Structure 1
Amino acid sequence: MDRAAFACSTAFFRDYSSASHGAVCLPQGHVDYIEKVESFSYSDFFRDYLIPNHPCVFSAKFTEGWGSRRNWVTRDGKPNFDYLLQHFGKAVVPVANCDVKEYNSNPKEQIPLKEYISYWKEYIKKNYHSPRGCLYLKDWHLYRAFPEQDVYTTPIYFTSDWLNEYWDAIGLDDYRFVYMGPKGSWTPFHADVFRSYSWSANICGKKKWLLYPPRQEEYLRDRHGNLPFDVTAPGLQDSSIYPRYAQSCPPVEIIQEAGEIVFIPSGWHHQVYNLEDTISINHNWVNGCNVAIMWSFLQDELAAVQREISEWRDTMEDWHLQCQVIMKSCTGINYKEFYNFLKVIAENRISVLNHVLDEEASAKNTHRAATSALGMLHAVFDLKRTVQVLTSLNANEDFKKLNPKSLSPPPEALLHHLKAAIDTALL
């Protein structure tokens, strides 16, 4: 991060409340296309897309050195089934049925990759029809299962990744995925986990994206407040069911070619189609630019849980704790874990500022090494954003009911430590 980007971020996030939901972006006639690697810096991306929360598309030049683009694709641009079978055939993968709706999503099953590829070949042979329906391999944690494989290198623009940094640190999960699906497979209307950013790179094939900027999705709700499963369904034009649909703006449409990367901003709802047989790699990630959006989302999630079990508020022992348990089950994180998330990121940034990592330690901790590569100013920015969100969390009435003084360290002590580290760094 250069000084101009740091100054831009300081000015934009000076007022925490106005930046908590990201910029309100109206659909535009086009999405910026980033053509050349050598003329586009991290600071350019940070200033022009991360901070304002705008989508963009990176050309295939940004992925041309990836092992997956060399090995996973045949000369005619199709999935290289033989290579995939040889290297990953025994892996068990999650597969969704695009033809079945279940709780506003598609039901999934776990099957060996070799079985899925056998299905896919037969599906193509039968002109994209099968009694099993249209099956889509989704959310496969290939990076975690095969870390030794030469698949891809995360572009520098996406390396300030608090989400995967935290989950790697606790060793429980990650948000790096591979998707593989035939022509016609698709993902229903949704926004990404924790309202995170996502980037999606096509290894082969072609996708169509329909994107709605934050708050546009409110016009798409039905009279019961539910979001649609499919934003292209004719039923949305029935005003007796979708009373505000006529007020919605048309979606931003992106056609993504092989090798290209799409950046999906925080909180943008979207629906995605595979126009050809397609393989893609996707990360969800959070950083200092959108961590306040994540925090706002978590508050909304807790409020929804509290409404659902409000009738037991006065009779259920430890009602507030039960709300946190349910929130964790439904959302994947609760307030105490969010505190731990902020703490881990903050401690890593202080380590960078204190230069406590020697070269050997940096090599073993890729996230801290990546932060070091982005520069001291980026570490300071991350700490400042952590302080802003942690201050809001510490003042939250629901968080106060969880006995935060029992946390290690207590929030007040952590805040004091972070502010001192920022002051020292800026001397």
Structure 2
Amino acid sequence: MAGRNGRTVRDLRRANRGAVLQRLYFDGPLSRFELGPATGLSSGSVSNVVADLIGDGLVEEAGSVDSDGGRPRTLLRVTPDSGHMIGVDVGETRVRVELFDLTLTELARAERPLEQQRYEVDVIVDHIHAGITEVLTAAGLAPERLLGVGIGVPGIVEHTPDRGAVVHGQTIGWDAVALESLLRSGSPLPDGVPRFIDNGARTLGQAEMWFGAGRGARNALVVLFGSGVGACLVTPEAEHGRAVEWGHLTVRVRGRRCRCGALGCLEAYAGAESLLARWREEGGRAPRDADEETALTAMLAAAYPPDGTAADPVALAVLEETAEYLGAGLSDLINLFQPERILMGGWAGLQLGARFLPAVRRHALSYALRHPAENVTIELGSLGPDAVTVGAAILPLADFFARGG
């Protein structure tokens, strides 16, 4: 039966269950008494919902605390093994697959390297299928127990009614790839297990906002700095984040050719791929046949020798130029969106790390308008190299909350 606002009793029950689950998930353990003000539900509604969730095995008791003059209050928490999610990061050097329990504790992982950043669709699909099978086998988990699989990919993700998630990845040569349909074909998972596919920068943003350095911010930008660059914008209007193709803003008319094919994109100057290319063009010597992560490590060692020997001036100059381009690109985001925080993640951003960030911050604030620049902080993300995978696993977790478990 629908009420005046069109909501049915079932909708109300789902919303109440979701509210209790989220509060216990983020703030628990909590008592029934504390759940009332935390969720806005009456004590009777809290009792009914909690009994329902305990009966479903989603919530369990977690000890007790003394109350003011009364009986001890029983604490409640989300049951960790009541649900499982898989997060997949289709990255620039590897495909990473991780299995998590409901509290996002990692249970198993699998990695498949990509040869020289080759993004053959069939190879990626096979890597994802093999990785899913491997982590489920390692944990001894039946596929039917999964809440879903979240997958972070490079490019623009379009959700279509007939083909599911379609990926437009111009920089990796993917032209309207019906990835969801391909993943369902020959999958080791039952058809009923949902797949959630989204841009990798957005999954990184979700992870940092839920569990990392973005917690508490209403308006933030999370930057993915890898082979290329991307960003996720989080605002009250887009609380789950919106991917921004920031790397393809034009920063230099008739500039270097970007891997998307255009001239002068930020990514042609600020991504790790372009950074290393410019170092080689100026005479830098990266290890032969090394992947990007190894080559960037070598460049950093040349620019900042650990043994106190003279630094490579070419490596230093290229890093400083990259910091200026990256800072100028951040200033555009500051002027456009006026965020409270900017967080830099991605494997290259974390590898460059604290040594690189002060220069990026200095250039960003010098190029940005004074007022928004005075109200933003620019820091590193706090979740490390697994942030995209964690964020991908959040996609089925968010759906779990929306459905009230």
Task: Indicate the TM-score class for this superposition, using the shorter chain for normalisation.
Answer: under 0.3
- Going by fraction, where is strand more abundant, 1 or 2? 2
Greater gyration radius = 2
TM-score (norm 1): 0.23
